[in-house]
Chain A
């Protein structure tokens, strides 16, 4: 058997880091190929959400300033599916920890930052697909983007930025979790983060403390930003919290903050875990 010689020192750290990241990314994307069930779920989630929230809640919730509830809801659903993506990275990385895959990676001559970068890149590609599906569902049930191509593209770009930032949070939590079971227990905690927000209902009817939390929740800023960019109803008027009054700026700010905190933390964690 002509076995390859032990790998020699890489020509360039950057090049090997990139190719390692691509290998980790393609590993994550390859998995989808074998999971038609998961792809079906990716299709079903937006469809079910639009019908469930759009028609059940929509039958009872009046929109400030009037308008179609589905038009009000869609930006929030985009944000919700984006935030739920935290579970993707978290589950994959926690599972790899539990099975010892992480240890194997770390005993190999690969770039240690390849795992978080490859994982978040794969998540981003998957998110593009699921946002596209969700947008199609929205169009089907009467949602429209009213402000032209530029603003629409900016809206989706903002969602992808949020997704990328949230994905790094997932990577970090996954690296902390010892196995898949721990990851599964973190999952339900994401639900309140999306509920205490302006996704489903205007925040001004909430008790004062809850309203403050909801207004400063990045999820609310992102939702308000999407409403603004897509020209959907529900934009707050009058005296509102700063992130709601300047939603695009606030969302970008939140994303940058998350990235500045969690990218270095995750990379550090991958470099030092177990030492």
Chain B
């Protein structure tokens, strides 16, 4: 197909899109190299879905350009559509048909012809272990099975680029793992995947590269390790007595990045602070607290939550706007 590992298969430059009062995309730049899972991480309303809609030719940007597999998404939309697969936040399936019938119809709409569409449906069901449910109506499927069938539906033509818009939102952990396994298999076969997610963990598990987006533009990007190093970790300390909070806070401030004050939750006797690197070990923290005369009930180091990542990267808490919900 002329795409080699390392070539950029999705390139966005200065994408802007406004819906009424909402500036969904505000100068988004993105370069996705071939042959990897590229994670687009951000909260609801950050512009993730709008970006995917632009890349999949569903929405036209107000400004800026985007190419997918070398084709401009506006001027050359039909060529883009022959190279992509899309699985969105819903299971975009016909509930009143069986899984197999859904795949056959999609196959025919990809111009495989009736015979090849049948063969491809059988092949995909078997390959992704849905053969047993292939002849049941989709409305009898569990949420996880629907999402898997939806994902499979986007693979009918082995797309050059697969767009997965929050493929695991609302799924139980087991179904989530199954989706992740499927995505890994696809990448092993050479498909490039652009995956949007609200979950840091999901991006971390699947993506070789991550772009963090907020209010319609990329605010940080890199490998998961680079981002983690930038964001650092969190230390949570629970003290036994409210009187010790002040001492504990001073002790933690020493460990934390320069100028960072710990967050204090006085009701729960909990202190939390971000630390710059992974170099801190639990014994160091305990020793520091001990020297300060603080009796900690609980001490833990953990990865930051997405909210904290955002707080660190943007200096403000995540805000949920209605853009994603209205789509």
Q: Point out residues on A near B: beta carbons under 8 Å.
A: 1, 3-10, 16, 19-20, 22-24, 26-27, 30-31, 34-35, 96, 98-101, 103-110, 114, 274-275
Contacts and interface: CB of A to CB of B under 8 A. Distances in A.
Contacts of A24: 105, 109
A100 B112 CA distance: 22
Given A4-B156, A8-B82, A34-B96, A110 B109 contact: yes
B97 A30 contact: yes
Closest 3 CB pairs of A and B: A3-B158, A100-B92, A23-B108
B34 to A, nearest CB: 15
29 contacts: A3-B155, A4-B156, A5-B158, A6-B1, A6-B82, A6-B83, A7-B82, A7-B112, A20-B109, A24-B109, A27-B97, A27-B101, A30-B105, A31-B96, A35-B96, A96-B94, A99-B91, A99-B95, A100-B90, A100-B92, A101-B92, A103-B56, A104-B86, A104-B106, A106-B57, A107-B84, A274-B53, A274-B59, A275-B60
Nearest to A35: B96
Contacts of B53: 103, 274
B50 to A, nearest CB: 10
Interface residues of B, number: 46
Q: Dominant SS at the B interface?
A: loop
A3 B1 CA distance: 13
B56 A107 contact: yes
A104 B59 contact: no
B111 A10 contact: yes
Contacts of A6: 1, 82-83, 157-160
A19 B92 contact: no
Contacts of B98: 34
A4 to B, nearest CB: 6
Contacts of A110: 109-111
B92 A99 contact: yes
A34 B123 CA distance: 23
